[in-house]
């Protein structure tokens, strides 16, 4: 697609990147067919091709309105369109550029600006989020059903193995996950301990930066990235093999540190190394197959098969392009995976999307739950805290992180 960049962006890294991405798009529209918001809303401007056109207009100097911003806000950043695109258009990167421009050209105001500000300051701060969640959990029986569904009951983490193994890896604690489901990282530590790996956390690491990044605060996201790099660096220098992500949404963000900090002279090289050392827990467990597969085989032989529906988060299948890995591990552990139609579609969680675009998010959740339930599973599993919490708010079936299920199998 031929683009004439306007003066304000022509000689900038964002302008050059946008032009290179736009040049690849041949406007064929294949991506539209797999876009969840286009499927629901039926408006070309709520599909990838339409949004690409809106961004092209902005970089060519046309003004943007609140309506332009709304069409970009309604995008889930699920990147299903990237998976479908035959021309390799990096839609996600283009959207980041487009959103930044849309907010500059048509600044947010009123309730929209206030909600985003509250989310940005509240969620990534455990000292604020954790006590509020505890209060909600305490008052849970008294809450109205709609609110109760959003407050999960408290969970115990279980034992974290002593860090005695010769091989060591780091795990990102994250921001909301340790409060909502502390058992996820503890389960990952127990599974990896069986493979001869100690999983460690770095006390000063925190939110991966995805929350502020998607709430228009790129500088705060960069600050989070630098803080995490500083926390992890001494351990990487000391021989830690990898930085493991148990939330696929965080995995996408940390793998992107190299791009986020590419113009930062002090951090660019470190960010590139951190991005290279980042692994999803699925890849990590699969790579230890020699030690773990015999244990999983034995567990599968000793325990009854459980029917399980797996929801692959967009950040796993489209963002990190990891497909089939978790499913293979669950099958090896003796779970019978039920068929799930339209597995490429987003569940509607998408970070804070379910708060900011609740109507679309709920419709997507209900569609996803119908697809997941069609094979009559006994449980649902996923790989990202946001998807797990969002799906659990709409079903009585237990929704768990798959690593907890693997740990459970290996512990019996
Ligand atoms: S993004 Fe890809 S699939 Fe979509 S219109 Fe452009 S070239 Fe076609
Ligand atoms: S990222 Fe997802 S919601 Fe956004 S345009 Fe692509 S397919 Fe549609």
Give residue-wise pLDDT tens across range 170-205.
Answer: 999 888 888 888 999 999 999 999 999 999 999 899
Q: What is the average pLDDT score of the chain?
A: 95
Check pLDDT > 80 for residue 146. Answer: no
Share of the chain above pLDDT 70, in %: 100
Measured from the CB, is residue 89 less than 6 Å from ligand 1?
Answer: yes
Measured from the CB, is residue 25 less than 6 Å from ligand 1?
Answer: yes
- pTM listed for this prediction: 0.94
pLDDT at residue 141, rounded to an integer: 83
pLDDT at residue 154, rounded to an integer: 84
Contact residues of ligand 2, CB 6 A cut-off = 35-37, 48, 51, 75-81, 91
Ligand nearest to the CA of 35: 2
What are the boundaries of each domain within the chain? Answer: 7-105, 293-411
Share of the chain above pLDDT 90, in %: 86
Cβ neighbours of residue 204 closer than 8 Å, sequence gap 6 or more? 227, 230, 231
Check pLDDT > 90 for residue 137. Answer: no
Ligand 2 centre to CA of 78 (Å) is: 5
Ligand 1 centre to CA of 90 (Å) is: 10
Task: For ligand 1, atom 8, name the residue with the nearest CA.
Answer: 28
Q: How confident is the model at residue 124 (pLDDT cuts 50, 70, 90)?
A: confident
Task: For ligand 2, atom 8, name the residue with the nearest CA.
Answer: 35
Ligand 1 centre to CA of 280 (Å) is: 28
Q: What would the CATH number be for the domain defined by 7-105?
A: 1.10.1060.10
pLDDT at residue 23, rounded to an integer: 96
Closest CA to 203 of 242, 234, 246: 234
pLDDT at residue 147, rounded to an integer: 75
Check pLDDT > 90 for residue 127. Answer: no
Tell which atom from ligand 1 comes closest to the C-alpha of 49. Answer: 5
Measured from the CB, is residue 49 less than 6 Å from ligand 1?
Answer: yes
- DSSP state for residue 153 in the 8-state scheme: P
Residue 329 to residue 159: CA distance in whole angstroms: 23
Ligand 1 centre to CA of 310 (Å) is: 28
Q: What is the mean pLDDT of residues 93-97?
A: 97
Listed in sequence order, the DSSP H helices in 205-349 are 210-213, 218-237, 248-255, 257-260, 268-277, 281-287, 289-302, 314, 325-332
Q: How confident is the model at residue 219 (pLDDT cuts 50, 70, 90)?
A: very high
Cβ neighbours of residue 155 closer than 8 Å, sequence gap 6 or more? 180, 181, 182, 183
pLDDT at residue 238, rounded to an integer: 96
Ligand 2 centre to CA of 75 (Å) is: 5
Check pLDDT > 80 for residue 132. Answer: yes
Q: How confident is the model at residue 152 (pLDDT cuts 50, 70, 90)?
A: confident
Check pLDDT > 80 for residue 145. Answer: no
Residue 64 to residue 62: CA distance in whole angstroms: 7
Q: How confident is the model at residue 370 (pLDDT cuts 50, 70, 90)?
A: very high
Task: For ligand 2, atom 4, name the residue with the nearest CA.
Answer: 75
Q: What is the mean pLDDT of residues 136-140?
A: 87
Q: What is the mean pLDDT of residues 309-323?
A: 98
- Decide: 387 and 369 in contact? Cβ < 8 Å: no
For 256-290, the pLDDT digits (tens) are 999 999 999 999 999 999 999 999 999 999 999 99
Number of neighbours of residue 169 by Cβ within 10 angstroms:
22
Beta strand pairing call for 197-200 and 167-171? parallel
Task: For ligand 1, atom 2, name the residue with the nearest CA.
Answer: 85
Measured from the CB, is residue 78 less than 6 Å from ligand 1?
Answer: no
10 Å CB burial of residue 153 (0-12, 13-18, 19+) is exposed
Q: What would the CATH number be for the domain defined by 293-411?
A: 3.40.50.1860
């Amino acid at each position: 697609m031929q683009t004439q960049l306007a003066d304000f962006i022509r000689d900038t890294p964002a302008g050059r990147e946008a032009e290179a991405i736009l040049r690849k798009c041949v406007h064929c529209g294949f991506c539209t067919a797999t876009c969840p918001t286009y499927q629901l809303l039926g408006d070309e401007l709520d599909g990838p091709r339409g949004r690409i056109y809106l961004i092209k207009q902005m970089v060519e100097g046309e003004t943007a309105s609140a309506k332009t911003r709304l069409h970009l806000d309604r995008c889930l950043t699920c990147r299903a369109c990237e998976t479908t695109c035959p021309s390799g258009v990096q839609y996600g990167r283009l959207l980041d550029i487009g959103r930044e421009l849309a907010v500059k050209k048509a600044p947010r105001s009123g309730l929209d600006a206030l909600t985003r500000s509250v989310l940005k300051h509240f969620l990534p701060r455990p000292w604020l989020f954790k006590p509020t969640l505890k209060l909600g959990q305490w008052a849970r029986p008294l809450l109205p059903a709609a609110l109760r569904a959003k407050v999960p009951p408290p969970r115990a983490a279980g034992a974290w193995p002593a860090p005695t193994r010769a091989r060591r890896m780091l795990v990102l604690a994250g921001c909301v996950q340790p409060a909502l489901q502390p058992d996820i990282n503890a389960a990952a530590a127990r599974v990896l301990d069986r493979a001869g790996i100690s999983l460690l956390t770095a006390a000063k690491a925190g939110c991966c930066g995805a929350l502020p990044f998607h709430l228009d605060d790129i500088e705060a996201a960069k600050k989070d990235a630098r803080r995490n790099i500083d926390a992890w660096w001494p351990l990487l220098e000391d021989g830690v093999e990898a930085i493991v992500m148990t939330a696929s949404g965080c995995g996408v963000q940390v793998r992107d540190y190299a791009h986020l900090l590419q113009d930062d002279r002090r951090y660019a090289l470190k960010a590139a190394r951190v991005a290279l050392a980042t692994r999803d827990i699925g890849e990590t467990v699969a790579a230890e197959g020699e030690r773990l597969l015999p244990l999983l085989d034995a567990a599968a032989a000793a325990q009854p098969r459980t029917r399980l529906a797996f929801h692959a988060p967009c950040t796993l299948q489209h963002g990190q392009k990891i497909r089939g890995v978790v499913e293979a591990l669950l099958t090896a552990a003796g779970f019978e995976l039920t068929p799930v139609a339209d597995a490429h579609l987003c569940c509607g969680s998408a970070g804070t999307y379910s708060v900011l675009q609740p109507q679309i998010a709920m419709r997507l959740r209900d569609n996803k739950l119908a697809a997941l339930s069609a094979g009559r599973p006994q449980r649902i599993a996923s790989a990202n805290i946001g998807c797990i919490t969002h799906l659990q708010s709409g079903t009585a079936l237990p929704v768990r992180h798959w690593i907890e299920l693997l740990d459970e199998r290996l512990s019996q």
